[in-house]
Amino acid sequence: MTRDEIKELIENAVILEGYDDCIVGVTEEFGVGNRILYSRDKILQKLRQDMSEEDAIEFYYYNIVGGYFGEQNPIFLV
């Protein structure tokens, strides 16, 4: 799924910079709207290219999952 396709489906989509290849799809929820679904495993695999596994996990949970990016905050497939 390309950025243009995502922006067409999700107004004000929050797209995590550098993680386009970790996008699994788009979710839909009543009252919340559509949000981008990322693969946790793909993100961790990408982070482990530049840091230890422990640091990657800490970074993921603190900076990515723990971050609030707006109403269309992405969600993550475990």
CA end-to-end distance (rounded Å), the chain: 20
For residues 23 and 10, the answer to whether their CB atoms sit within 8 Å is no
pTM attached to this predicted model: 0.89
Give tens-digit pLDDT for 17-74.
Answer: 999 999 999 998 888 888 999 999 999 999 999 999 999 999 999 999 998 887 788 9
Tally of structural domains, the chain:
1
Q: What is the DSSP letter of 35?
A: E
Q: How far apart are CA 72 and CA 34, in angstroms?
A: 8
Q: 22 is in which domain, residue-wise?
A: 3-77
